[in-house]
């Protein structure tokens, strides 16, 4: 778990602890209730959320945590936590960090639909 928490791949982690991928998977299921890949996703999401709570912009937090981009982080958040980043932050006391869903004044664009 510590190696996955640092962002190492499942294959590298298994090799690093002297186990095969299947043995690591069985041990992960026994210890956490899901496989090492899911554990790696959960830990990556936790890294990203910690960075966002520190004030790091979403895209930068996503990249630093190991996501390919901000959209990847958004998908992981929805799949693992069942909510959006903004929705999560608005319920945790970090409302000021959540993206704004509406602007007080028009953005300056004169294009109409």
Contacts of 12 (CB under 8 A, 6+ apart): 3
Determine the Cα–Cα distance for residues 20 and 25; give it in Å rounded to an integer.
9
From 73, 71, 72, select the one nearest 50 (Cα to Cα): 73
- The third-level CATH classification (topology) of the domain covering 2-86 is Arc Repressor Mutant, subunit A (1.10.10)
Helix (H, G, I), strand (E, B) or coil at 55: coil
Report the C-alpha gap between 65 and 8 in whole angstroms.
11
Q: What is the pLDDT along the chain (113 residues), one digit of tens a residue?
A: 999 988 889 999 999 999 998 999 999 999 999 999 999 999 999 999 999 999 999 999 999 999 999 999 999 999 999 999 888 888 765 555 555 444 444 455 455 54
Burial class (CB in 10 A: 0-12, 13-18, 19+), 8: middle
pTM to 2 decimal places = 0.76
Enumerate the domain spans of the chain: 2-86
């Amino acid at each position: 778990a510590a190696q996955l928490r640092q962002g190492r791949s499942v294959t590298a982690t298994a090799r690093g602890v002297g186990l095969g991928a299947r043995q690591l998977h069985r041990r992960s299921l026994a210890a956490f209730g899901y496989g090492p890949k899911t554990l790696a996703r959960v830990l990556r999401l936790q890294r990203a959320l910690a960075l966002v709570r520190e004030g790091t912009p979403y895209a930068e937090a996503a990249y630093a945590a190991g996501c390919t981009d901000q959209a990847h982080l958004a998908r992981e958040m929805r799949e693992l936590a069942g909510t959006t980043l903004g929705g999560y932050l608005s319920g945790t006391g970090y409302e000021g960090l959540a993206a704004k869903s509406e602007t007080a004044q028009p953005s300056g664009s004169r294009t109409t639909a």
